Chains A and B, each alone.
Chain A
Amino acid sequence: MQVPDDLRYTQDHEWLRIEGNEAVVGITEYAATQLGDIVFVELPATGTALDAAQAFGVIESVKTASDLFAPAAGEIIAINESLADKPELVNDDPYGEGWMVRLKLSDPAAVAAPSDHLMDPDSYRKLVEAG
């Protein structure tokens, strides 16, 4: 079970990669495995403003559909267009090609340090192992 060290994680199994004032969002390998074969990812339009923990999309597998929640507040400046034709990228490369949206963070300082809402990799590993 891959849990890259350079990311932050939420309780809902999203990851956040902070790049200065921007951040990239996706779902973890654990989440992708739980969901099964991903068949569709519904993402909002660029320009959409999100609050932290706000639902911003839906990820659909054969058997389930789950909401996606914003790990941090910000404005969507890019979405991963490849997912429209190849949703399986989320299964194959959840931390790389399976990225979902890029945010311009509303408050970069607020996400600077790990917290209960944005866990460090070790805390997330513990969460996943607890089952």
Chain B
Amino acid sequence: MTALVEPQPVQAEGHGLGPKRVVGGALQPTLDELSRPGRASAMVPHPSSDALERIPASQRRSGGLGLPELNEPEVVRHFVNLSQLNYSIDTGFYPLGSCTMKYNPKINEWAARLPGFAALHPLAPDAAAQGTLELLWELEQWLIEISGMKAVTLQPAAGAQGELTGILMIRAYHLARGDTARTEVIVPDSSHGTNPATASMAGFKTVTVKSTAEGQVDLEALRAALGPQTAAVMLTNPSTLGMFEKQIEQLLDAVHGAGALAYMDGANMNAILGKFRPGEAGFDVMHFNTHKTFSTPHGGGGPGAGPVAVGDKLLPFLPWPRVLRNGEGFRLERAGERPTSIGRVRSYQGSVGVLVRAYAYLLAHGAEGLIEVSEDAVLAANYLRSRLAGTFEMPFAQVSKHEFVASASAIKKRTGVRMLDIAKRLIDYGFHPPTIYFPLTVDECMLVEPTETESVETLDAFAEALISIVAEADSYPQLLHDAPHDSPVRRLDEATAARQPDLRWRPMTGAEPVCPQ
């Protein structure tokens, strides 16, 4: 296993460096600061000077555009240098709970860029789009099998949009039955913030149900909250605390007994591929996050995709248009072909470029590969948890699935050091911090998800780094309060950023003189 370099002791003002800096780029000026009048690269030919004369003057832009002027080498250097200020999966370990930061396979990047896929117009006639239509149809079949549901829509552009799609379908379902009394959606207190936000967007009131001390949904509390006013219950399984809901059968029975539908937030599918099929178990609808379970890149915050799978009850309400088989080929549903649909949730067919990557991922893994993903993800999480059990409080006794919660509550009482400080100090050790302060139900918590693509050496190095940091908390707490010490920028003044928002550079007139640096 890797040997850990001892951190330097605290100097007079707390400038103890960490053992490993992995993000080491140089700060860069912004594009407007680099701009110099006249710099350009010829990307397209020049049009004739009268090309715009037929546009009425009142509708034409008067005055300069005021955009930065750089030539190509400068543009490239600017963005390459900026990239070196980023941590990424390709850089190092990224154990963010609830995000599933697994390796992004490079063949998927190649696939999405194939001109046959990349250059296809979204409104191309079906006859011209048979390759993509077949890919989408086949991807739906894979997701149907994985989810245990009956049908899939690939339209939603993200998990949150998938949630909205699911809840809107549930709304349509109840209205179609003539039931207008169902105005509430129940979510557990540990739920991801998108769940109640989605319920509100769809016009429902959110009712929150507390978890038990063991971190499970409180069945009695759920039963008490359920009634003829409940449209749906949104559950994450495994939960956001990284544990399987052992009473899932009783929970689903209670939901259906009240005439409500059960939505599964599929963010944590990485733990249960081939082990638990939500549709088979009784969920009515679920969404996937392709950028979590199926390795599509996070891109610094997107794009992702949020396919939604449904059982028989919600099938009539799926967004339009669906992809259908047409003899030997495939076609899109025609207008008016399925009037019960909730309509469109986005333009065109969906984030197809992302879906191509998910498709490639699934085909590469196959049945055995996907099961291996979940088994290794769960094994790694439990292994890492066992390595840290002596250092952090583990609030729950139940076996973890693909992620676990640990608390620094006792460390804070003992040393004054908070989980935030520990997280920031991890940066000095060359790691991206785990998710902190989510879920909201555990004090001073971190949520750690190693994923299946990290080696035992990496897991051990991470555990040793945390153990070392907690030792630092006892001896040099100020070192942690001031961390990180060795990153391109250190702790930021977020209060001023919010009080006096500076959200864009100074407007440019298009006649900027040379900017002094």
A and B directly contacting (CB within 8 A): yes
Residues of A within 8 A of B (CB): 36-37, 39-40, 60, 62, 87-88
Q: Is B457 engaged at the interface, CB distance under 8 Å to the other chain?
A: no
A60 cross-chain contacts in B, Cβ below 8 A: 498
* B499 contacts across to A, CB distance below 8 A: 39-40, 87-88
Complex Cα–Cα for A130 and B498 (A): 32
**Within the assembled complex, what's the spacing in Å between the Cα atoms of A36 and B495?**
9
B247 → A minimal CB distance (Å)? 31
Please, what's the 1-or-0 string for B487-508, where 1 marks a CB less than 8 Å from any CB in chain A? Answer: 0000000110011000000000
Chain B positions near chain A (C-beta within 8 angstroms): 494-495, 498-499
Residue of B nearest to A91 (CB): B495
For residue A78, give the distance in angstroms from its CB to the closest CB of chain B: 23
**In the complex, chain B residues whose CB is within 8 Å of the CB of A39:** 495, 498-499
User: What are 5 A-B contacts with C-beta separation under 8 Å?
Assistant: A37-B494, A37-B495, A39-B499, A40-B498, A87-B499
How far, in whole Å, are A40 and B494 apart by their CA atoms in the complex? 13
Chain A residues with CB under 8 A of B494 = 37, 62
Compute how far the CA of A101 lies from the CA of B499 in the bound complex, rounded to whole angstroms: 20
In the complex, how many angstroms separate the beta carbon of A64 from the nearest chain B beta carbon?
A: 10
Given contacts A37-B498, A87-B499, 14 further A-B contacts (CB under 8 A): A36-B495, A37-B494, A37-B495, A39-B495, A39-B498, A39-B499, A40-B498, A40-B499, A60-B498, A62-B494, A62-B495, A62-B498, A88-B495, A88-B499
Compute how far the CA of A62 lies from the CA of B495 in the bound complex, rounded to whole angstroms: 6
Distance (whole angstroms) from the CB of A35 to the closest CB of chain B: 11
- Closest CB-CB distance, B189 to chain A, in whole Å? 16
Most buried by B among A36, A39, A40, A60: A39
Contacts of A87 in B (CB 8 A): 499
Give Cα A39 to B498, complex, Å: 6
Query: Bound state CA distance, A113 and B499, in angstroms?
Result: 39
Question: Once bound together, how far apart are the Cα atoms of A36 and B498, in whole Å?
Answer: 12
Give chain A nearest CB distance to B273 CB in angstroms: 34
Q: What are the 3 tightest A-B residue pairs by CB atom distance, in nearest-first order? A: A37-B495, A39-B498, A62-B494
CA distance A71 to B130 in the complex (A): 64
Give the shortest distance, in Å, between B183 (CB) and chain A (any CB): 19
> Which of chain B's residues have a CB closer than 8 A to the CB of A88?
495, 499
Q: Which residue of A lies closest to B495 (CB)?
A: A37
Closest B residue to A85 by CB, please name it: B499
- Which B-chain residue is minimally distant from A37 (CB atoms)? B495
User: What B residues does A62 contact at CB under 8 A?
Assistant: 494-495, 498
Q: Roughly how many angstroms separate A39 CA and B493 CA in the complex, as a whole number?
A: 12
Residue of B nearest to A86 (CB): B499
A40: chain B residues at CB < 8 Å are 498-499
Smallest Cβ distance from B471 to chain A, in angstroms? 28
* Shortest beta-carbon distance from B412 to chain A in Å: 13
Beta-carbon nearest neighbor of A60 in chain B: B498
- Return B424 CB to nearest CB of chain A, in Å: 15
Q: How far is the CA of A88 from the CA of B495 in the complex (A)?
A: 9
Instruction: Name, among A40, A60, A62, A87, the residue most crowded by chain B CB atoms within 10 Å (CB to CB).
Output: A62
**Bound form: Cα–Cα A88–B499 in Å:** 9
What separation, in Å, do the CA atoms of A22 and B120 have in the docked complex? Answer: 68
Cα distance A37–B495 when bound, in Å? Answer: 6
Query: Which residues of the other chain, B, contact A36 by a CB distance below 8 angstroms?
Result: 495
A72 → chain B closest CB, angstroms:
26
Closest to B498 in A: A39
CA–CA, A36 to B494, complex, Å? 11
Tell me the bound Cα distance from A60 to B494 in angstroms: 13
B492 shortest CB reach to chain A, Å? 10
User: How far does the Cβ of B436 sit from chain A's closest Cβ, in whole Å?
Assistant: 11
CA distance A87 to B499 in the complex (A): 8
- Chain A residues with Cβ under 8 A from B495's Cβ? 36-37, 39, 62, 88
B498 contacts across to A, CB distance below 8 A: 37, 39-40, 60, 62
A60 to B495 CA separation, bound complex (whole angstroms): 11
Cα-based distance from A39 to B494 in the complex (angstroms): 9
Q: Min CB distance, B257 to chain A, in Å? A: 34
CB distance from A81 to the nearest CB of B (A): 16
The CA-CA distance from A87 to B495 in the complex, in Å, is 10
- Give Cα A39–Cα B496 distance, bound, in whole angstroms: 8
| Bound Cα distance A1, B250 (Å) | 47
In the complex the two chains form, what is the Cα distance from A37 to B492 in whole Å?
13
Query: With the chains together, A26 CA to B499 CA distance in Å?
Result: 19
User: Which of chain A's residues has its CB closest to B499's CB?
Assistant: A39
Residues of B within 8 A of A37 (CB): 494-495, 498
Minimum C-beta distance from B421 to chain A (A): 15
When chains A and B are docked, how far (Å) is the Cα of A108 from the Cα of B383?
63
The closest CB in chain B to the CB of A36 belongs to B495
Per the bound structure, the CA–CA distance linking A129 and B270 in Å amounts to: 42
Give CA–CA (A36, B499) in the complex, Å. 13
Instruction: Say how far B205's CB is from chain A's closest CB, in angstroms.
Output: 14
Docked pose: A73 CA to B499 CA in angstroms = 31
B397 vs chain A, min Cβ distance (A): 25
Q: Given the complex of chains A and B, what is the CA–CA distance between A20 and B499 in angstroms? A: 35
The residue of chain B having its C-beta at the shortest distance from the C-beta of A39 within the complex is: B498
Q: Output the least CB separation between B440 and chain A (Å).
A: 10
- Nearest B residue to A62, CB-CB: B494
- Distance, CA A37 to CA B494, complexed state (A): 9
Given the complex of chains A and B, what is the CA–CA distance between A26 and B101 in angstroms? 43
In the bound complex, CA of A60 to CA of B498 (Å):
9
A62 and B498 alpha carbons, distance in the complex (Å): 7
A66 to B498, CA, bound (A): 16
Tell me the smallest distance from the CB of B260 to a CB of chain A, in Å: 27
Report the Cα distance A62→B494, complex, angstroms. Answer: 6
Most chain B CB atoms below 10 A, which of A36, A37, A60, A87:
A37
